[in-house]
């Protein structure tokens, strides 16, 4: 087995939006820090939902809610990866 096969370079999507940041955080960060980041995720999602409600004057449901959850998840994943993976290099 070649050395390149044991540690392949992650794709663009995996590098920016993968779970490498959470794995690195699990190793490096303390439990309190992990809790803070998870609370920040929920807080950001709540702000998106509240902002949507204020702009459209209605509660999000179905597709808009799913789009907000997925988009915030990917943005937050990129944020975590930049801090714990790319920021540590």
User: Is 76 inside a domain boundary?
Assistant: yes
User: Is 70 inside a domain boundary?
Assistant: yes
What gap in Å lies between CA 87 and CA 21, rounded to an integer?
10
pLDDT at 9: 65
pLDDT at 46: 93
Q: Name the burial class of residue 81, with classes exposed (0-12), middle (13-18) and buried (19+) by CB atoms within 10 angstroms of its CB.
A: buried
CA geometry: angle at 35 spanning 29 and 38, to 5°?
110
Note the pLDDT tens digit of each residue in 43-61: 999 999 999 999 988 888 8
User: Is 77 inside a domain boundary?
Assistant: yes
User: Is 31 inside a domain boundary?
Assistant: yes
Residue 33 has pLDDT above 80, yes or no: no
What gap in Å lies between CA 71 and CA 65, rounded to an integer?
10
| Domain around 46 | 17-82
User: Is 54 inside a domain boundary?
Assistant: yes
- The mean pLDDT value of the chain amounts to 76
pTM (global) more than 0.75: no
User: Is 56 inside a domain boundary?
Assistant: yes
User: Is 38 inside a domain boundary?
Assistant: yes
Per the structure, the count of domains in the chain is 1
What gap in Å lies between CA 16 and CA 56, rounded to an integer?
31
Residue 69 has pLDDT above 80, yes or no: yes
pLDDT category of residue 1 using cuts at 50, 70 and 90: very low
Note the pLDDT tens digit of each residue in 9-24: 666 656 666 666 666 6
């Amino acid at each position: 087995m070649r050395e390149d096969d044991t540690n392949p370079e992650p794709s663009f999507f995996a590098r920016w939006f993968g779970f490498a940041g959470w794995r690195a955080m699990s190793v490096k960060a303390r439990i309190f820090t992990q809790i803070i980041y998870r609370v920040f995720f929920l807080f950001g999602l709540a702000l998106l939902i509240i902002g949507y409600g204020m702009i459209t004057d209605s509660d999000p449901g179905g597709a808009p809610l799913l789009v907000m959850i997925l988009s915030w998840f990917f943005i937050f994943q990129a944020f975590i990866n930049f801090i714990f993976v790319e920021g540590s290099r």
